[in-house]
Structure 1
Amino acid sequence: MSADGMGSRGRVLVTGGAGYIGSHTVAELLHAGYDVLVVDNLINASEESLRRVRELTGTDERRLAFQQVDLLDAAALDAAVAAGGPFRACIHFAGLKAVGESVEQPLRYYKNNLGGTLNLLQSLHRHGCRKFVFSSSATVYGMAERVPITESAPLSATNPYGKTKLFIEEFLRDLHASPHGSSEWHILILRYFNPVGAHESGRIGEDPSGIPNNLMPFIAQVAVGRREYLSVFGNDYPTHDGTGVRDYIHVVDLAQGHVAALNKLEGDAASVGCVAVNLGTGKGYSVLDMVKAFEKASGKPIPYKIVGRRPGDTATVYADPAYAKQFLGWEAQRGLEDMCASTWKWQSQNPYGYRKAGS
């Protein structure tokens, strides 16, 4: 860090940085010596997360700045990029992310996720920021037939949310393939598996609006008494206990994967081009494995009911993380016990997330 208290590695633009993965990544960027400008419309996030990140990292608004901007507002976005830069790179998290909601409101998802990304890319190009890390998802593999899933597996998203991730990946590949793109743009596409867990302090964590779409926050809300029971979608899959198996990755490991991606872009951009990398652990846990582990971590019973399968769910999904280790020098460090313990610490200390009870 420089003498004036500013980071010595330059400034990074983080879209959606007030959200779950974004806020943890911002904390890791600050620890790594970067300054950060977060732009977020706060539709599914809270500025309180950034206040707590400043508290945890001992930084102020000079090193972690915030602008409430919707990426669909091209003029406001461009003004924020122009005023906040120059940027060493951009990490793009912003977007709607609920699979079920995307099935119900596909046009909203296409407009928001695709339109916002196009505005962002145009603004970055205009202002000379062409190192880009995209928050993609294992949903781009669709109904993957083989595990572990490598980066060369066929791409075939099965819902509008996953399709927006896949289409944005196509934007980025086409941008890089354009006449000047290969020499100017350096792009890393990070395909996440199932992020869980929270910061070790318990001060920042996952705070979904409304009914959680993901397993871990639902289990945590049952444990803390906000919900009566967990619905388990199917117990007749060809797995060790009949429930679906997924690759769960600790959010701090995931955040550190983004720092590794920036290190790659900073130190070896010429070898990057436009590259996709899986971020997962290579291990699979079933729904009931997660329930039992969380009961142990929290000391609370997790009542559950078996209900019918959800359309489109597959039995087993987990990553082959070998390429991330080879290419980025990164691998997940935290196991299931830490995932559950950190989630419980966050949820028990913040039973209503960043909101107060009754708000």
Structure 2
Amino acid sequence: MKVLITGGAGFIGSTVAAACLDEGIDVVVLDNLSAGRAEFVEGRTWYRGDIADGELIDRIFAEHPDIHATVGCAAKIVVPESVARPLHYYTENVTKGLALLGHLVRNGCERFLFSSSAAIYEPGQGITESSPLRPTSPYARTKAHFENVLEDVAAGTPLRAVSLRYFNPIGCDPEFRSGLQVRRPTHALGVMIDAFHEGRPFPVTGTDWETRDGSGIRDYVHVHDLARAHVAALRRFDAITSRDAGGTPYRPVNLGTGHGTTVFELIRAFKSVTGKPLPVEVAGRRPGDNAGAYPDIALARELLDWEPVLSVERGIADSLAWHARRDLVLAADADG
């Protein structure tokens, strides 16, 4: 099997590519390096360019007519940037995504595996694929809009699609071939690691949420487990999206640990990994915050025969190890 991975030089896409190669699936990468890193595609077949470039897509399929499926990991993903630049996000994530689908259909590529996001859901616990949607940022709304596009296109063309809606990825490639490339991440574990190394207290914003210990809850899933799920979806794609016997050509599937981790639990796990205390600073809720969310992953178990196997502690340890190695892997200008 050979697959095209758009955005395959980014954090998620490069880890998916590595997992595919480890499992005997050939990969062709398309990335314009607007956020991805050339270091992450070293030694792999890759094309530098835009997903909306029809001539380039045609060339890729002419040179690789045996491409079995496309994995769509190319997207802009920074929530604050999406608020400041909504036109840019809709252009990159929706308009160019539409162009890509047209190029794929024209080239006879009828399988599309989409890297989506749990940010499209209304916050809650035990979220299923049929839970209410309430995207609250331009970024999240671009993901929700594109899923609507996929459902409609799959209903009216030969294209079939699976959307993997995943929660908060942590960790890195187990062999340190790639990891989070940004120097100042804004997610909880990234902020925690920076605070730890800089000797600053880690801020806990809100301790009166309706969770098991009052702190916010998120679902932290190891990026390698996510990559394994992509491999499983590729191998089971035809069975998942069969139009026979009343099947559906479009399937959303949740990916996560299925139980979530509160902020205080994440702090305790961090301390258990480092063996050192982590000072914290308790503050009130911030505007726009919510209690958080975690998914029900029963459908992933059923359709993909997939379970996460790497713990939050392993994700923390790998994130810390990648932080120490990052500047050895990436050029000095790495800033995300």
**Is the CA contact 1:172–1:187 (under 8 Å) kept in the aligned structure 2?**
yes
- Give the counterpart of 1:110 among 90, 110, 125: 90
Q: How much has 1:266 moved relative to structure 2?
A: 4.6
Tell me the equivalent position of 2:190.
217
How far apart are 1:47 and its partner, in Å? 1.2
Give the stretch that moved more between structures: 267-276 or 34-43.
267-276
Cα distance change, pair 353–293 in 1 and its aligned pair in 2 (3 A): farther
Secondary structure of residue in 2 paired with 1:136? strand
Equivalent pair of 1:224/1:348 in contact (CA under 8 Å):
no
- Structure 2: runs of 5+ lacking an equivalent: none
Q: Which residue of 1 aligns with 2:29?
A: 38
* Structure 1 residue runs of 4 or more that deviate by more than 6 Å after TM superposition: none
Q: Does the 8 A contact of 2:155 with 2:249 survive in 1?
A: no
Mapped partners of 1:230, 1:33: distance in 2: 42
Residue aligning to 2:217:
245
1:96-138 deviation per Cα after TM superposition (whole angstroms, max 9, x unaligned): 0011211111111101111221121011111111111001111
Unaligned stretches of 5+ residues in structure 1: 1-8, 52-60
**Mean alpha-carbon deviation: is it higher for 186-195 or for 263-272?**
263-272
Structure 1 residue 161: Cα displacement: 0.5
Residue number among 303, 323, 326 corresponding to 1:347 in the alignment: 323
Cα separation, 2, equivalents of 1:203 and 1:306: 36
Q: State the distance in 1 between where 2:135 and 2:10 align.
A: 24
1:165 aligns with 2:143: yes
Q: Which residue is 1:71 aligned to?
A: 51
Report the Cα offset of residue 41 of structure 1: 1.4
Alignment partners' CA distance in 2, 1:296 and 1:103: 36
Alpha carbons 2:39, 2:329 under 8 Å: kept: no
Displacement of 1:352: 7.6
Which residue is equivalent to 1:193? 167
Q: 1:253 to 1:358 in 2, by over 3 A?
A: closer
Match of 1:277 in 2: 253
Q: 1:353 to 1:96 in 2, by over 3 A?
A: farther
Identity %: 38
Shift, 1:307, TM fit? 4.2
The alignment's TM-score, normalised by the length of structure 1, stands at 0.85
Find 2:39's aligned residue among 44, 48, 52: 48
Partner of 1:150: 128
How far apart are the structure 1 equivalents of 2:287 and 2:54? Answer: 36
- Higher mean displacement: 22-31 or 197-206: 197-206
Structure 1 residues 220 and 50 mapped into 2: Cα distance closer, same or farther (>3 Å)? farther
- Aligned residue identity for 1:261: A
Q: Hey, what's the Cα distance between the residues in 1 that align with 2:333 and 2:83?
A: 31
Moved more, 27-36 or 232-241: 232-241
Determine if contact 1:16/1:39 at 8 Å carries over to the other structure.
yes
Count of residues in correspondence between the two structures: 331
